Every structure is written in C-alpha cells, then in structure tokens.
Structure 1
Amino acid sequence: MNRQYDLDWIRVAATVAVFVFHCTMFANAFPWHVKNNELNSGWVFSLSLLLSTWLMPIFFAISGISVRYALERKTVRNYITERLTRLGIPLLLGIWILSPPQVYIERISYEQFNGSFLDFIPHYVDGLYLGIGGSGNFAFVGLHLWYLLVLLVFSILTLPLFRFIQHLTIKPVYYYFLPIPLVLLSTINIVDLGSWDIFFYVVIFIYGYYFFHGNVFQTMIQKTFWIHLLIGVSTSIIYTSWFIINIPEVGTTAFYLFKSIRGLSCWSSLITIFYLGHRYLRRSNHTLAYTSEAAMPVYILHQPVIVIIGFFIKDLSWSVEWKLTFLFATCFSLVLLLYHVLIRPFNVMRFLFGLKQKPSIHKGLPVKETSR
C-alpha cells in the first residue's frame, strides 16, 4: 500500500499546534497547571479558542484512518498487542514519571501544598486527580496523555464494529450528511476531554476509519472545499467572538446554537485541513521522516517541559509576548534535544516512548562464511 504522506505531515503540524496551544494556556484566562503573573484576554485567548476547535479532533480522525490501514496488514492479535505496547507503555511512563512534577507544580502554584518535590512524592497517590485545582493528586490518565488512554480504549472497543462495517458500501451522497451527528454531539457534555465530549471523539474516530480514508471522501472534499473554507472561517470567527463577548447560559436556545456553531466549525476545519494536505503535502523527504517519528515523543514530553519552564519564568517582569516566545523556543528546542540525544538512538527509550525498535545495522546483511 502507498503511504499517505499527507497524513504524516498533518500529524506533525498538529503536534506543533498542540505545543503552541499549551504555551498559550500558560498566559490565557483558562485554568491550567501553572499560570503567568499576567494573563492575556486578547490574541492569546483567541488563539487558544481557535486551536481548540479542531486540534484534538484531527488527532482522532487521523488515528481512525491509521487503524484502517493497520487492520488491513495485521492480524487482530498483533494489532491489539501493538496498541497495548505503543500506547500503554508511554501512558504508564506519563502517569508515574511525567505527571508527578506537573501535579506538584500545580499544587504549589495554587497554594495547596507547601514543601519540596521530595516531600510531595508520597502524597502523589492521595486521591484521584480529576481537574485543575482539585484535591486528588494521582493523575491516573497521565494529564495531557488522556489521549493515549482514550485512543487505546477506542482501538479495542471498536474492533467488532470495524470488522462488521469494513466491507459495507454507502452511497456517496450520504457523505454530505456526516456533519449532522457531530453538530448534535457538540451540544452535549457528558465526559469533557480537551473541551470536547468523549462521544464526539468516538464518532470522529469511526469517521476516520470508515469515511476519511477512501477516494469517495477525497472527491467530496475537492467538490466542497471552498464551501467548507468559507464555513470554517466564518463559524470560527463567530464562535470566538461570541465566547469572548459572553457565553450563553447553559440550557438556553442560544447555548445550543453556540455549541452547534463550534461543531460546524470543527467539521469544516477538518475538511479544509484534509483537502490542503492531500493537495500539497503528498511527498516525503528527510524532514518528514525525522519529524513523523519524533511526533510521539514530542507529544509525550512537551507539556511537562512547558509546565516546569513556565513555573520558573511566571513571576519575571517580562511582557506576555516575550515570555511566550521564550517559552515556546526554549521548550521546543529542549524537547527535540531530548528526543535526538536520549530517545532516538536507544531501543529501551524508544520502547518507553511508543516507537518501533531501531533496526540493527547488521540486519539484512549476508552472513560471510569463514574458512576452516
């Protein structure tokens, strides 16, 4: 099968966008693990809102597509084993190694704990961590690594459904009705993860598996690109402006309209991104080969590094713009350095961060016979 390099490029770009998003969380008005001494309710806040409309949904869409291709070349047993290893091991790493410093910094920042990190370690298992500023400390979902846990659960629980629908054929006209369930689901909030409900994510994941991978979908987005671009831009502006001016009261007609606009913005943004990727990013190069492999470790490491560096600069007298520039440049460089020096060359570290093992330099070479 020909690899879809556009999906690799989109995944890399989304990983950088997550990096940017969590840097903005340091200085916007939303609660987070550590906050700057000066918050920005203008462009930083608006950028956070715009990124949040499509950022995590695009990861679940690409993951659904990846599952489709994985099941076409692997047995179910190998597929489940790979998922447990490449998602479960990094999740455990996040829960036990990367989360404690972040929870400690949050408790210090919110004046919920007084003492050193070593003093805090025995208290890490005190109660379940359920949100910013809560009383529990044990981050059982790995904080920002909740995505790995949810993806692991989705990957296994949807297997029977995927095996059932993989050979079903749906008329192309039905593709135009795909946004309706997403718009409806955008109005509910049963289990909020990354500002979207978990049922919204599972539908996006299923869409990725069944709809987003094929030629019918590519034909549809080519025909409707300009419409979706217009809808995506307009709804994003409306949603962001409405959010900043005044969020409607929960349960009102205005509230459901507000949420529906966000769902439509997400859908149109996804279509726009997939179209642009398919048209302009279908080639590979050395940069993609390096960054596509680095995406997973960067995703795993980025938030702990941002939280730690942010903690040390939050009370400095620098401007918000300068702090965010410094935070992004420093943390991004540090994470890439950690990947290149400590993770990429060593198979043990690659295993912990969900990467395939580095092939031996002798693998595939003919065995030279020795003379007697």
Structure 2
Amino acid sequence: MVVAYRVKEARALERRYDLDWIKVLATGLVIFYHCTMFFNPWPWHVKNNDIDHSVILVLSLLIGSFIMPLFFAISGISLYFALQKRSIRVLLKERLLRLGIPLLFAVWVLSPPQVYIERFASGQFTGSFLQFLPHYTDGLYLDIGGSGNFSFAGHHLWYVLVLLVFSAVLVPLLIRTKNSSAAFKGYHLILLPVPLSLIKVLAPTIQLGGYDILFYLAVLLYGFYFLKDRTFTMVLEKYSTLLIAAASVSSVLWVTGFLQQWNVLLLAAVQVLYCWSSVLLIFHLANKHLSFSNSSLRYFNEASMPYYVLHQPIIVIAGFFLRGLDLSVALKFLLLACIAYGSVAALYHFAIKPYSLPRILTGLNGKSRKKHIKSTPEEVSLY
C-alpha cells in the first residue's frame, strides 16, 4: 500500500514539460498580439497612422480571445502543484516577491514612458517626458484615453496584480482542498463553458483583456480542480476530433459575428466557445507533441517572465517612432515585431540573465542556474 502510494505520488509530481512549452509559446504569442494592437482599430496607447481592418484585426480577434484565459489556466494548475509542497506562508511570500517586485518595477519604471507616449500622441500632454514625470501620479490610470496617469496595475502587468490578489484570497481556502480530486470527464467539455458564458454576459465587475476578472477566476479554478488531473489529457485525446472541429467552426463564427455585429448574447456565447475549445486544444496538442525538454525549453522557460515584463513598453516606444513612417502595414509590422522580439531577447541575455538585481526586478531568482536541475511541476510557473 505504501509503495503504491509513493509511486502514485511520484507520478503526480512528474515534471510537466508540456505546461512549460505552453507558457513559453504563450509568452511569445502575447508579444505578437501586442504588436497587432498598434495596427488594429481598437483603442491602444499609440496607434499607427494607417489602421488595418482586415488581416491584423482578425489575428487580434483570434489571439486575444484565448491568450489571457490560457495564462490563468496554467496558473491554476501551477497553484495546485505548489500547494502540494508549500505552506500558505511560504507560497504567499514567494509569490509576493516573485510577482510583487516586477509589478512595482512596472508601475514606477516601465509604465511612465507608456503613459507619457499615450498622452503625447493623443494631444493630452505637449511637454517633454521629464516635464511629464511630476504629473505621473496625477489620478489613477483606469483606461486608455482617460485622464488619470498613475498606472497602479503596471499596464500589461494587470495580470500579475490580479494573480497576486487571487493568490492572497484563494490560497487559504484552496489549501483545504489541495488533495481533493475532481477528475476531468467528457461531459465537462460541454458543462464547464456554461458558467463562463454566463459570466461573460452577466458579470458587472472589472473588465480586463476582453473578459471580466470573475471569468479569469473561474478559469483559474478550472485549472486547479480539473485541468491538472491526468484524466484531463486522456479525455482530450479521446475527443480531440471534436475539439478541432469546435475550435475551427467557432473561430469562423466569432470573427464573422464580430465583423457583422451579431446580437451581444449570441456573440458572447460564440466567443466563449472559441476560447474554451482553443485552450483545451492547445493543452491537448502540447501534451501530445511537447512532453519533452531540451536546451531551448530550459533557456526560454526561465526567460518567459522577463520577456512578459519588458515587451510592451518596448512595443509602445518603438511604435511611437514608427507610426509616422511612410511604409506599408506589412513592412511596419515586420519591423515592429523584429524590434520587440530582438530587444527583449538582447536585454534578457545580456542585461538580465547574468545579474542578480535585474533578475529580481523581472521576476527571477537572484542567482542564475548554471545547471538545469530537474524540478517538480509547482515550479512550472509563478504566473
């Protein structure tokens, strides 16, 4: 009995390389998505002089509808594994340091240039950046185009702030059920999106990244209770054809409905269906094809947090200087993407990875790991 239990426990704590790959690829994709925000017709901090209503808008619709729920699903799974070996105090202290410090760094260092560029580009402020700095604390920055300047959520690091709040509120409750098992079943494919659709339509709280924070809370809890279970991958394998069909059909319906301005309730249901089926399909494909490690994964798994922290201010600053150039949208997009990926890669490799202080400011341990140590799933992601 004891041997069987130990074997089961060891299997439960096996490294989930597929989750590492999802985190790495999702981080790369969110950089791509924020590059599209410079060109699409939606409000953003700085916009190109030529707005694209076709290909880039469609890409924004497709990526933006699942990318943040995917992060919260990973965070829910990571939270489950973290609670298997950490006390409440240790876990909350770790998250406060690894997430709170990058958040403060974003609030006081990375956000002021972004707010200034937004105000300058829109004509809300006409002076220099140094002249703007004393006004950075004038009012709370609540939305693009608003009047407040102080970005208490660190702009794109609102996700980190929300995750910190979720951790502080949920961990004392979730630790009581950390050993409970709510195995993922086939009917969950149909039932679990229903609450998400209701939240999407009815939730009156805070909208971030296209969804309400209650939506993200539900997805995180799904990760904690359902998606971490080994039966989850078995169910996805069994219904993989259905997932592919659902993701494909719902993607067409979502884009079509958005462009044709369908009824709000119908459009919300279609978006949730696309989001849910896409997230599950990504988990399935990663488990099937990316359950391995190599040197690239080891490098970028550590780099993903600094990439996430640094990328948006680079895109905003680069976009500010690119917006007036007489170039095609395609060429300018390629240029912006190269600047974004190239800059974060260079900053991480040469200015962050080797040094303790930059590592801490961007969410890493103070010392670089010289050798890869095989770790357990709770270390898969702090975000």
Alignment TM-score, normalising by the size of structure 2: 0.90
2:200 pairs, out of 169, 176, 186, with 186
1:310 maps to amino acid: G
Could you report, residue by residue, the CA deviation over 1:33-57 in whole angstroms, capped at 9, with x for unpaired residues? 0000000000000000000111000
Which is further off, 39-48 or 225-234?
225-234
Deviation at 1:172, TM superposition (A): 5.0
1:104 pairs, out of 101, 116, 123, with 116
Counterpart position of 1:276:
285
Q: Are the counterparts in 2 of residues 101 and 117 from structure 1 also a CA contact under 8 Å?
A: yes
Within the alignment, does 1:238 sit opposite 2:234 as a pair? no
Count, aligned residues: 356
Structure 2 residue runs without a partner (length 5+): 1-12, 372-383
Within the alignment, does 1:149 sit opposite 2:164 as a pair? no
2:151 maps to amino acid: A
Whole-angstrom distance in 2 between the partners of 1:231 and 1:215: 22
Which is further off, 27-36 or 254-263?
254-263
Could you report, residue by residue, the CA deviation over 1:144-179 in whole angstroms, capped at 9, with x for unpaired residues? 000000011111211133123323344654634222
Higher relative contact order (CA closer than 8 Å, sequence separation 6+) = 2
1:175 pairs, out of 185, 188, 194, with 188
Partner SS, residue 46 of structure 2: coil
Partner SS, residue 227 of structure 2: coil
Root-mean-square deviation (Å): 1.5
Deviation at 1:360, TM superposition (A): 8.1
Shift in CA distance, 8/361, structure 1 to aligned 2, threshold 3 Å: closer
Q: Are the counterparts in 1 of residues 77 and 227 from structure 2 also a CA contact under 8 Å?
A: yes
Counterpart position of 1:370:
none
Counterpart position of 2:7:
none
1:32 pairs, out of 26, 44, 66, with 44
Counterpart position of 1:209:
224
Counterpart position of 1:369:
none
Q: Are the counterparts in 2 of residues 225 and 271 from structure 1 also a CA contact under 8 Å?
A: no
Partner SS, residue 83 of structure 1: helix
Counterpart position of 2:272:
263
Alignment TM-score, normalising by the size of structure 1: 0.93
1:332 pairs, out of 341, 353, 358, with 341
Whole-angstrom distance in 2 between the partners of 1:273 and 1:359: 30
Q: Are the counterparts in 1 of residues 199 and 214 from structure 2 also a CA contact under 8 Å?
A: yes
1:312 pairs, out of 318, 321, 327, with 321
Deviation at 1:359, TM superposition (A): 5.4
Whole-angstrom distance in 2 between the partners of 1:334 and 1:121: 24
Whole-angstrom distance in 1 between the partners of 2:347 and 2:241: 41
Which is further off, 25-34 or 214-223?
214-223
Q: Are the counterparts in 2 of residues 175 and 220 from structure 1 also a CA contact under 8 Å?
A: no
Counterpart position of 1:368:
none
Could you report, residue by residue, the CA deviation over 1:22-79 in whole angstroms, capped at 9, with x for unpaired residues? 0000010001000000000000000000001110000000011111111111121110
Counterpart position of 1:76:
88
